[in-house]
Amino acid sequence: MMAKGEIDDLCINTIRTLSMDAVQEANSGHPGTPMAMAPVVYTLWQEFLRFDPEDPIWPNRDRFVLSIGHASMLLYSMLHLTGVKAVNPQYERLGELAVRLEDIQRFRQLDSKCPGHPEYRWTSGVETTTGPLGQGVATSVGMAIAGLWMAQYFNRPGFEMFDYDVYALCGDGCMMEGVSGEAASLAGHLKLANLCWIYDNNKITIEGHTDWAFSDDVAVRFIAYGWNVTRVGDANDLGLLTRAFQTFRNTADRPTLIIVDSHIAYGSPNKQDTSAAHGEPLGAEEIRLTKRTYGWPEDAKFLVPGRLREHFQAGMGQRGQALRTAWIARFEEYSKSYPDLADQLYRMQHRQVPGGWDKGLPTFPPDPKGLAGRDASAKVLNIVAKNVPWLIGGSADLAPSTKTRLTFEGAGDFSPENRAGRNLHFGIREHAMGSILNGLSLSKARSYGSGFLIFSDYSRPAIRLSALMELPVIYVFTHDSIGVGEDGPTHQPVEQLASLRAIPGLITLRPADANEVVEAWRVIMTLRHEPVALILSRQALPTLDRSVYAPASNLARGAYVLADPADGKPDVLLLATGSEVWLCIQAHERLAVEGIKARVVSMPSWELFERQNQAYRDGVIPPGVGARVSVEQASTFGWSEYVGSAGQRIGMKTFGASAPLKELQKKFGFTVENIVAAAKGRLAVARG
């Protein structure tokens, strides 16, 4: 039997050598950080992490986030050595390893479970997709918020259903990215004591030494944020690491930052090149020298000593299994004592909505004055949130404008004093808000966040990751066009709709009136794997008379025929979204007076429309009708797909201007007269 120090060294060096060998085999990757941080992650996983390898989606597990995603081999090595099992999208445990040795041998190759950066839903045990630096730590804040909220909502005396901790390993790059500062500031303000960031202070980035661009005193910075800060002077000192993690466990009033000083060192004393930390293999000779330093067989590749798996099973494995088994038994008793809460917990964890989630949704009567999209959404959101207790979210300091505050009794504000609050205040931190929403969603809360559409640019990296991870995050963006008027071009979104539509997997929804807003929420709440950008107006939109026009429920198909000639055979098509649909309705009526048969198509979601079969799409936009006009107060980019070469796109080609709305509409051609003229012009061209 090996002494503890010997088996610890054997495990750490196995992690290191697997990482070296995988990067060398792939001729691509980052071996330095996995080598330096192996003692840190080994200590955390083996001694502290409450995680059952047999069930990596157990709801009350501790979360480990590898924010330095380029060090992915560090995580893959741990997943393999600890025997983490695979889980499929149906939440079924498959009984096979999430990461096999063959996957490590095929690191960064097609279809390997070990891609270049960790990917959620692709490799079991990966808690979030990381790669863009700073995203992991920012996402971890959402996981921590979710843990505290769920504990407050679900826990009852004798039934502690949630008390998990969140650990995130980050580096100099994460600390430099602005999103980490946004997230750390909010985490300190909220006193998230279940959150621990581990900072690999190795002073190296791709260009070289951090002194070239980074001289922050990180410890002082985080103390100013309201964090507890502790330091480990040597990443190889397991005793100091143990003490640091115990310090985190004992800190009950704030998040913890553990600064770990490390350096990337190899076997050769002359090895000075830092590039291996950031994208290059060490080379065969350097690997041999390094393995010799470790006392490792120099020519062995992907060697995993047989004793290691038993060692991990005796530590992390047994601890995690015991905790999970006790939790399952506790949940069975909880189900008897609190059946309604147990049902909610189960549904939340499986991304289901409760029965009757849509009860009370309004139908808005026809109204020529109408209602702003944001106001209609506010009414719907408050009804839905009352029916779905785990729908939580907020705004980047704009809730009074986006109308996303939950106002029903008991909603409350999430704060250090009230962990049950449903309203989150992100402050003016759009990027961190998006990342935190992802963390909430990864923890199975249904999250939403809001802002002005123009500021979706500030959230875009997190929105992209929502789509990449297939998370049903809800983004509510108001002030959706040049309709914001006097605020001017800095606040008038022009290219944002097109850029959101360009994100694969993201559904954009721009409803035309209050009843389309209701139907948009019906679509949103039934989604389980897709994020949505709900685009809403600041200005009032007439509420259409649905006894005259097609039902708003057609929104679920993405686009539909709203108004048509009596014989259903149009000569010209008017295609629009949002507030511009009403302009097309008026143009349709004027054209009818002149004997021109126009069809109005409301197109709130291109993505949903493209999912319909060809027959339906051709029925809405007949291929034989070449005279087409699109109308949208945004960039015309993308509309060619629908109007074709013979069509005309009425849209924005500049950044707008500061003026009252009616003046802007006239200046940029968003008038009934201009649409009528365009329709006639396109019809003339089509008829030759």
Catalytic residues: 430
Task: Specify the 3-state DSSP secondary structure of 175.
Answer: helix
Residues 6 or more apart whose CB falls under 8 angstroms from that of 77 comprise: 14, 15, 18, 19, 34, 38, 104
Nearest alpha carbon to residue 320 among 47, 34, 24 = 47
Task: Specify the 3-state DSSP secondary structure of 240.
Answer: helix
- Rounded to whole angstroms, the Cα distance separating 106 from 23 reads 10
Residues 6 or more apart whose CB falls under 8 angstroms from that of 65 comprise: 127, 128, 130, 136, 137, 139, 140, 143, 166, 167, 168, 169
Spell out the alpha helix ranges (H) of 256-398: 284-294, 307-312, 318-337, 339-349, 373-387
Nearest alpha carbon to residue 430 among 414, 453, 404, 400 = 453
- Rounded to whole angstroms, the Cα distance separating 161 from 153 reads 10
Exposure letters 601-619 (e unless 16+ CB within 10 A, then b): bbbbbbbbbeebeeeebee
> Do the Cβ atoms of 560 and 620 come closer than 8 Å?
yes
Show the beta-strand stretches assigned E in 510-619: 532-535, 540-543, 560-563, 572-576, 598-602
> Do the Cβ atoms of 112 and 106 come closer than 8 Å?
yes
Q: Which two tokens stand for residue 246?
A: 């115990």
Task: Specify the 3-state DSSP secondary structure of 194.
Answer: coil
- Long-range contacts for 582-586 (Cβ within 8 Å, ≥24 apart)? 582/512, 582/513, 582/541, 582/542, 582/544, 583/631, 583/670, 583/671, 583/672, 583/675, 584/631, 584/675, 585/544, 585/549, 586/672
Q: Which two tokens stand for residue 175?
A: 């600390």
Give the residues across from 649 on adjacent strands. Answer: 630
Nearest alpha carbon to residue 642 among 610, 612, 672 = 610
* Alpha-carbon dihedral sign for residues 522, 525, 531, 535: positive
- Rounded to whole angstroms, the Cα distance separating 368 from 539 reads 13
Residues 6 or more apart whose CB falls under 8 angstroms from that of 384 comprise: 357, 358, 361, 391, 521, 525
